[in-house]
Structure 1
Amino acid sequence: MKELNKRHFLNYSILIPYLVLSILGLIIVFSTTVPHQIELGLSPYQLFRNQTIFFIFSLFMIAVIYKMKVEKLRSRGWFGILIPIMLALLFIARFFTPTINGAHGWISVPGIGTIQPAEYLKLVSVWFLSATFATKQNKIAAQDIDALFDRHKFWSNFVTGWRFWVILMIGAVVVMPDMGNALLIIISSSMVFAASGISYRWTTGFIKIFGGLSLFALAILKLTGGNIIPSVFSSITYVNKRFVAFANPFQDTGDSGHQMINGYYAMSNGGWFGRGLGNSIEKKGYLPEAHTDFVFAIVIEELGLIGAMIILGLIFFLIMRIFMVGISAKDPFNSMMAIGVAGMFFAQIFVNIGGISGLIPSTGVTFPFLSQGGNSLLTLSVGVGFVLNISADEKRRELAEKTEKYDVSDVSRLSLVEK
């Protein structure tokens, strides 16, 4: 039997949508950033060039991750290096960099642009929990919750346990303050927790508590008009403005509600079929952050509701294919990692669209692939690289099992070449 290279197991139902969305994202970035750069008196193509460089580097990272053995990716040794590096970068961003739109979190690197550690921490948290819970499957299968949570040695094991590091990662992002990425880490980590095999009572209980608290918080914002943060907390007044805009954007059209209202205008201008690619009115100085947080409003304005729905359909197809890899995977790490990546994608879409539509307060979360932001694109791409590798590993495993079932002699001749 002919040896099978790893490329024979490549999942094109994930790779092709990813490539289409990434290339479409470059077009949207070009359309939305050129007017923004001209308005600021900067090079019109600078942000587009940066996004293109990140895309090329993303393809390289996908290739590197795909070539690696899943056993190496499953190793927990990575996190003794990655998590301290991420936390150190967040510390630098918080205390040694200027604020951007009321928050820290970006580290300027000459020749590259900016690095946003919180973006990468989303994927690191999913990876960390997947690798951790994969080693606890015997305890989970036995429903040994005491052992899983180390209840009998709670304080002595807390600092070295997974709970401490998850809380630390979320807390480090919150103090930026970056509530959007903190929320994404919570949601995607919860997806891994739910997929780990822990009793459904724990999962459904967490969903009920989280959902109940979220609805209560949204109700409070609506009832109070969103003005709930005292003015003495000057460092996070921008958060209060977003709450006020969520409660009633038309209450302050010139300040807190300005972005939300112009986002509504952009979506209204688009109608069913849009004004045409590049013909947005709102991106020409009217809608702040038209190339990042509110890029999907510009997509609707230029491509119309139908064009936007086609893009959403393609993204949800990609998410479902990733999710199905996790559902069908037999290896615990493979399953949790794929489901966590799918959850990360879905959470980012939900939070972004929820923000621009007024369903939830705007949190500054970018739209996957379409928003300008090389850090976001690289994080999503690395996630896709993980899933492609996991999918190939599961296919190889399934094919080897089928071959062994029908002809044991074929197993020795059927191998997956890691090159």
Structure 2
Amino acid sequence: MKIAKRHFLNYSILIPYLMLSIIGLIVVYSTTSAYQIQQGGGPMRLVINQSLFWLVSLVGIFIIYRMRLSFLRKSSVVNIVIVVEILLLIASRFFEPVNGAHGWIRFAGFSMQPAEYLKLIIIWFLAHKFDKIQSEIGTYDYQALTKGSWVPNRLNDWRVVSLLFLGLVVTLPDLGNATIITLIIIIMLSVSGVGHRWFSTALMGITVGATVLLGSIWVMGVDVVAKIPVFGYIAKRFAAFFNPFEDATNAGLQLSNSYYAMSNGGWLGRGLGNSIEKKGYLPEAHTDFAFSIVIEELGLVGASLILAILFFMILRIIVVGIRARDPFNAMMALGIAGMLLVQTFVNIGGISGLIPATGVTFPFLSQGGSSLLIISIGVAFVLNIDAHERRLLLEEEIEQTLY
């Protein structure tokens, strides 16, 4: 007995997604209108562009929701996506840099950021790889992932592909997305079925490594790091992290003005559209530091409500992953939830000075079509997975009742 998939649409995920998307369009207009006027353009240009991406996203959600999940599990499909993504990352290196980093492909007024798509692709790839060796993981734990060797010796080894992707992103250089992709890989390892001690070990290793790195930069001085060809522009972000007000007109310009924006907002904010900092004081107010403007205009209370909606949606996605009986479905859902959590915390950490600014956008609220599209595709996958799992469960219960 087949039941139509539309009866299993998870509104506890879809409704928050729609709410955040609409709020995002309002925030994009608020944060970009002044910038566009300063540039001599129309105040609606960027919000119209974002709206077009959202409409494409809605069509994508409809198509992906109706798609058979078996299609996503085909090795040929995964391999084609991997090859295309590698080619796009390489091609982006030959386009003009933005804020000191390559990573955007621009032509005929259209632009895309391949590293944004990599966040979901790496989840898909690792879920596909780890799903095939679930029985081995259950028996041999982490050794099933390494095939008994800490050094990968095959080109299709998940470690080779992951390191290749990371290497391409780092050389752009794109510190923010490289950080997020690294954390996503750790999340995927932790939900693959291996013992929890490996996740604790990896987390401890990252904490120690980050502490040593920041300590070394502090001891050697930012000027030394700035001489490294690939990481020259990143040195400014480390300088701002250590003391943004020491060079508030240069390296610390973004972070110091982010502090001013959040301070201006207080509890209830200055009112939608009334931000001071977005009017030429805070660079990237519509992308990396959009949430600072949200706090300035809507206050801590308004920003907290938006975070509550976002975290509720992420929690519902986690529930889908926990309840999924199929390992591939579970890893996909948990990986997508992890992607959203990591991106949110890395952005908030950057704008608040808890970690060096990484250029990571805030989900839904920052202007960026690629970011919105990849989040929408991720939500579509989760909606499909949840409907598939619930339909199978109900059909089994009906069959047991009948027979």
> TM class, shorter-chain normalised?
over 0.9
Shift of 1:369: 0.1
Task: Tell me what 1:404 maps to.
Answer: 399
2:281 to 275, 283, 286: 286
Shift of 1:193: 1.0
Larger deviation: 34-43 or 59-68? Answer: 34-43
**In structure 2, how many angstroms separate the alpha carbons of the residues matched to 1:269 and 1:152?**
55
Shift of 1:241: 0.3
TM-superposition CA deviations, 1:302-321 (whole Å, max 9, x none): 00000000001111111111
What root-mean-square deviation, in Å, do the aligned CA atoms of Structure 1 and Structure 2 show?
A: 1.7
- Equivalent pairs, count: 403
Shift of 1:205: 1.6
**In structure 2, how many angstroms separate the alpha carbons of the residues matched to 1:15 and 1:153?**
42
2:225 to 225, 229, 232: 229
TM-score by length of 1: 0.93
2:292 is the counterpart of 1:297: yes
**In structure 2, how many angstroms separate the alpha carbons of the residues matched to 1:49 and 1:170?**
33
Shift of 1:221: 4.5
TM-superposition CA deviations, 1:104-157 (whole Å, max 9, x none): 00011314x3110000011000000001101110100112544432236965x4
TM-superposition CA deviations, 1:185-213 (whole Å, max 9, x none): 11112111110101222222212212222
User: Which consecutive unaligned segments of at least 5 residues does structure 2 have?
Assistant: none
**In structure 2, how many angstroms separate the alpha carbons of the residues matched to 1:10 and 1:257?**
46
**In structure 2, how many angstroms separate the alpha carbons of the residues matched to 1:346 and 1:114?**
26
In structure 2, do the counterparts of structure 1 residues 44 and 240 end up closer, same or farther at CA, with 3 Å as the change threshold? same
2:213 to 192, 217, 228: 217
TM-superposition CA deviations, 1:225-279 (whole Å, max 9, x none): 644414363x532200000000000110110001111111110111110111011
TM-superposition CA deviations, 1:79-98 (whole Å, max 9, x none): 2211111111111111x211
TM-superposition CA deviations, 1:362-409 (whole Å, max 9, x none): 00000000000000000000000000000001101211222233223x
Larger deviation: 373-382 or 220-229? Answer: 220-229
TM-superposition CA deviations, 1:309-347 (whole Å, max 9, x none): 000111111111101110111100010000000000000
Mapping for residues 127-142 of structure 1, pairs under 5 Å: 127-142=124-139
Q: Which amino acid letter does the alignment assign opposite residue 93 of structure 1?
A: S
Residues 76 and 128 of structure 1 are in contact (CA less than 8 Å); yes or no, is this contact kept in structure 2? no
Mapping for residues 343-358 of structure 1, pairs under 5 Å: 343-358=338-353
Task: Tell me what 1:29 maps to.
Answer: 28
Task: Tell me what 1:270 maps to.
Answer: 265
2:158 is the counterpart of 1:162: yes
Residues 32 and 291 of structure 1 are in contact (CA less than 8 Å); yes or no, is this contact kept in structure 2? yes
In structure 2, do the counterparts of structure 1 residues 144 and 364 end up closer, same or farther at CA, with 3 Å as the change threshold? closer
Q: Which amino acid letter does the alignment assign opposite residue 55 of structure 2?
A: I
Residues 31 and 277 of structure 1 are in contact (CA less than 8 Å); yes or no, is this contact kept in structure 2? yes
Task: Tell me what 1:70 maps to.
Answer: 69
**In structure 2, how many angstroms separate the alpha carbons of the residues matched to 1:387 and 1:238?**
37
**Identical counterparts, % of pairs:** 52
Task: Tell me what 1:105 maps to.
Answer: 103
Task: Tell me what 1:16 maps to.
Answer: 15
Task: Tell me what 1:417 maps to.
Answer: none
Residues 221 and 227 of structure 1 are in contact (CA less than 8 Å); yes or no, is this contact kept in structure 2? no
Residues 109 and 115 of structure 1 are in contact (CA less than 8 Å); yes or no, is this contact kept in structure 2? no
Shift of 1:160: 2.0
Q: Which amino acid letter does the alignment assign opposite residue 145 of structure 2?
A: L
TM-score by length of 2: 0.96
User: Which consecutive unaligned segments of at least 5 residues does structure 1 have?
Assistant: 409-419
**In structure 2, how many angstroms separate the alpha carbons of the residues matched to 1:161 and 1:291?**
39
1:371 to 366, 386, 395: 366
